[in-house]
Chains A and B, each alone.
Chain A
């Protein structure tokens, strides 16, 4: 079997109960808040942390299998790792750092191979610089080249982009994406940045307190989280309770505190089921005051703006709805649209909830006190 298969279980030092796979050439993002166990999972794959129970199998070869007493030492596992601080060897030059990971080659071939890897990350000419003489982005690229030097069977990236400025980060994203076709091994990326996962990863595991809440395609996970908990973790704000009223051929009808909502067909929910639903803030459409727009009839709601923040190109407005719903609705519009419509605190607005964007989930479990 090609690829990586991981299964981990422990109670201390942080609880962990996770199982997932990552195919060769696939990039899997582990996403979750700090303390959710994502870095610990990476350390287990690298053999830097030993879980109470579990296994790590790479291309059919067990690196860890606690039930069979197998625990291959880190230096014998073929892993390449890039961490947030890069952990370069400060006393070695850029090329020396890469050569340090080429112990599997004869001495005579190491220098050439290291040069080739430096060229791959566009650092030719900086061979003799020490890490302290390199910029953050350059250090990151040396770390990537060093991680690839062993021709690892698994590439592990632990928040490798979080210590550089935004412009550099954009360039490093491009560079990594450009290198992807050369990387035939499973790649596991740990990040707390959903956009990063969305941009780079093929699949994504959403982690909370050491458990995988959901595993799927990043976009799918962001737009269609399986539970309210997952929805909150991916930053969805418009989560409301409701009940399925009726299933029609190409519509599902919801009751939302006395209001009827028409939503895209999700026939798996039987009429009468209590559910939760969400709509992304960008799918709440503002009606223009001067002339009605075509979406007018689609789940219209009215309310007044209670908070209003412009964040550069986009503006986030919080709306107190007329009717029985006490929770506020958040909408996101282009800032010029907000200005043209003179949105501001206290203003009345007419909105539509786009039927295609409404996603149904199981009703939220009561929050633990």
Chain B
């Protein structure tokens, strides 16, 4: 088994989730509570990674991150490193392609909090931050945790985008999903089987946790 690929995947998944947690809470809450012109367009953009073929998505990210792009140039000027084929670039891509998995469950769970309950928090003298901490997050946490679990599992399994943006550099951008492909190409079926079983187990647990939590959301509202 390629342990360095496994560790890299875990590191990538954890960092992705850490970045998405505050970003998802803020964006999900914003989309849940605010009505504005063009909201449908923002929501469609958020959902886009769900339907776009990973290679197409990966291609655009590669173009956007490349040395010819303003983003790639700014990054290189700032850090002295290219954005493509590095762990940092892979992390950024991972955050972007996980946006729908993180934001949608969080948005739904904030939407499930009745407006009157939020109003009551303000009328109780809570500042918006206190209301978030004491009322909204305790009520929305199943959705937030679901979002994190889904994003983490999805990061471990993503193949197309990782290959396009990161390549397959051992220790830098070679994730477990790519290592499996690598092992199969090298006729190392035993290693491929082990890593596949591991990913299968992680995915199963993630889905089970998600279902258990969405059951909780339903009960909370009752």
Contacts and interface: CB of A to CB of B under 8 A. Distances in A.
Contact of A81 (B120, B128, B139, B222): B120
Contact of A74 (B117, B119, B221): B119
Given A87-B117, A87-B120, A89-B117, A132 B126 contact: no
Contacts of A146: 120, 124
Interface stretch (B59-67, B103-111, B130-138, B187-195): B130-138
B128 to A, nearest CB: 8
A38 to B, nearest CB: 16
Interface string B84-128: 000000000000000000000000000000101101111111111
B119 to A, nearest CB: 5
A100 B220 contact: no
A156 B145 CA distance: 37
Interface residues of B, number: 22
Given A83-B116, A85-B114, A132-B222, A91 B138 contact: yes
Interface string A67-84: 000000111100111010
Residue of A74, A79, A91, A101 contacting most chain B CB atoms (<10 Å): A74
A90 B122 contact: no
Interface residues of A, number: 26
A83 B126 contact: no
A103 B121 CA distance: 11
A22 interface: no
B116 A100 contact: no
Contacts of B128: 75
Contacts, number: 68
A46 B125 contact: no
Given A89-B135, A91-B139, A103 B124 contact: yes
Interface string A28-64: 0000000000000000001110000000000000000
A149 B134 CA distance: 17
A46 B134 CA distance: 21
Contact of B116 (A80, A87, A101, A150): A87
Given A75-B127, A91-B139, 11 more contacts: A73-B122, A81-B119, A83-B116, A83-B119, A87-B114, A87-B116, A89-B120, A101-B123, A103-B124, A104-B125, A146-B124
27 contacts: A46-B123, A47-B122, A75-B122, A75-B124, A81-B123, A83-B116, A83-B119, A85-B114, A85-B116, A87-B114, A87-B116, A87-B117, A87-B119, A88-B120, A89-B117, A90-B220, A91-B135, A91-B139, A100-B135, A101-B123, A101-B125, A103-B124, A103-B125, A104-B125, A146-B120, A146-B124, A150-B125
Interface of B: 114, 116-117, 119-128, 130-131, 134-135, 138-139, 220-222
